Amino acid sequence: MSIETSIASLVEGETGQPYPYRQVELVEPDWTRFPGWRLVTAAEWESVQWQRAHCVKNVRQLRELMGDLLDERFYADLERDQAERATMSMLVPPQMMNTMVPHVVPSGPGSLTDAFYADPVRHYMIPVFSDRRTDWSSHPHATRDSLHEHDMWVAEGLTHRYPTKVLAELLPTCPQYCGHCTRMDLVGNSTPTVDKLKFVAKPQDRLGAMLDYLRRTPSVRDVVVSGGDVANMPWPRLESFLTSLLEIENIRDVRLATKALVGLPQHWLQDDVRAGMERVAGTARSRGVSIAIHTHANHGNSITPVVARASRAMLDAGVRDVRNQGVLLNGVNADPHALLDLCFRLLDGAQIMPYYFYMCDMIPFSEHWRVSVADAQRLQHHIMGYLPGFATPRIVCDVPFVGKRWVHQLTSYDTERGISYWTKNYRTSIEATDADALTRTYEYYDPIHTLPVAGQEWWAAHADLDGAALKAAEVAEASRRTAALQAW
């Protein structure tokens, strides 16, 4: 997918505009097209218990579902990735699986292989070895906890990065695992390449410590309740935590983070969950607190009628908003048409507010997904003007030790070496005594394969240095370039 798609003369010829808006009716793909689900009934499909019990968790289960519609080369490709590259284990609910190759009719052995390789949802939910780059599979600065959330824990699982906001990781599991997960160091099962961090304290002790911190920290007003995914927490336990949270006077905003609204919407349609959310939303409203749901959709194919029903159910229960925080991913949505198609399906079809698209974080083996800051800036330009202003998503870069920054907020940008420099106007919880925190610049790095030849050669010559030596080389090169510009 290329950002140049937006200026295709063929499309402009149809409507006179680079992007031709059309209202699209949401459709639930026919799950019986897959051999393993040919006898599955509508009642089973609507059951969250059936959905959870029939998740695809490994190559064998994918083979049982798809049979010979996929060539053996695909299964071998997936098996190699699981053994050598994957930072997340496989876990794909039927609902999400069904949004892959939704428009291709199977026509015999191997007939879905090419379409499956090309499918945007497959590309991030079931990555294969051949997807990944072999020149720079990881950036030299890639780290397991690329945003240093663990470093900023003020209680186990409670990250205090922004002055008035915290992130509460209630649990380390999800109903589905995205290949590009930024919390790959903590969330999900260990893989052959990643031995996951484990919470130490008992769940109730951890949650109690979080609440205690919030009670004694009146500067915090906003809590993102996440994980993992809150849909994996039994509702009574989640409701108990939220009720306690709403009793804290300084808490004015609560956001529930759940990709399951898109990946397992059947969870949010359960009677007990809907009734419980109505109680929580009622309590929040009576106390003047805003409660919202943040979900995570990356492609328009994922937005189906059952997703729209789940969103409507939550809005009817009293949540203020359902918002989408997607991730900008090459091969999935790094294209203005794909982004706008997704946003209009969210907004028109499911009443979900497009909110953010994050640039993919610098985790190991993610370079094939990442785009440069320059491309992100161009994408932001191309999507402007089509959506209502309040529903136009901001493309943001989550800069290590800084946080979310609109992609045009950088201070300076070395496009040859792909290093952007950023500043901030607040201290994190680990910088209380750091006098330089508000004056220094912080780096973010473009994928090396997107750089000009000179930049790629510079990284090839320096990438094997240890962290300190590499940083020193970067500073020296930046100083040399500055001096050359001043001399000119």
Residue 15 — very low, low, confident or very high, per pLDDT cuts 50/70/90?
confident
Confidence (pTM) = 0.94
Residue with tokens 């409701």: 239
Residue 219 pLDDT > 60: yes
Structure tokens at 155: 């209680």
In degrees and rounded to multiples of 5, residue 370 shows phi and psi of: -80, 150
Residue 226 — very low, low, confident or very high, per pLDDT cuts 50/70/90?
very high
pLDDT value, residue 465:
75
Residue 472 — very low, low, confident or very high, per pLDDT cuts 50/70/90?
confident
Residue with tokens 């499956």: 116
Residue 182 pLDDT > 90: yes
Mean pLDDT of the chain: 94
Residue 462 pLDDT > 70: yes
Residue 151 pLDDT > 80: yes
Residue 104 pLDDT > 80: yes
Q: Could you tell me the residue ranges of all domains in the chain?
A: 1-451
- Homologous superfamily in CATH for domain 1-451: Aldolase class I (3.20.20.70)
Residue 3 pLDDT > 50: no
**Half-sphere exposure for 295 (CA within 13 Å, toward CB):** 31
Residue 6 — very low, low, confident or very high, per pLDDT cuts 50/70/90?
very low
Q: Are 255 and 293 in contact (CB under 8 A)?
A: yes
Residue 103 pLDDT > 50: yes
Q: What is the pLDDT of residues 71-80, one digit of tens each?
A: 999 999 999 9
Residue 464 — very low, low, confident or very high, per pLDDT cuts 50/70/90?
confident
* Sequence-separated (6 or more) residues with CB below 8 Å from residue 472: none
Comparing 14 with 74, the larger pLDDT belongs to 74
Instruction: Give kind and range of the element (H or E) at residue 83.
Output: helix 72-84
Strands 153-155 and 158-159, sheet pairing: antiparallel
Q: How many CB atoms lie within 10 A of CB 352?
A: 31
Long-range contact list for 383-386, CB < 8 A, 24+ apart? Answer: 383/336, 383/339, 383/340, 383/343, 386/19, 386/21, 386/340
Question: b/e for 126-164, b at 16 or more Cβ within 10 A?
Answer: bbbbebbbeebbbbebbbbbbbebbebbbbebbbbbbee
Q: Which of 73-77, 160-164, 187-191, 478-482 has the lowest mean pLDDT?
A: 478-482
Tell me what the mean pLDDT of segment 269-275 comes to.
98
Distance CA 69, CA 187 (A): 32
Alpha helices, DSSP H, located in 305-404: 305-317, 336-344, 350, 373-383
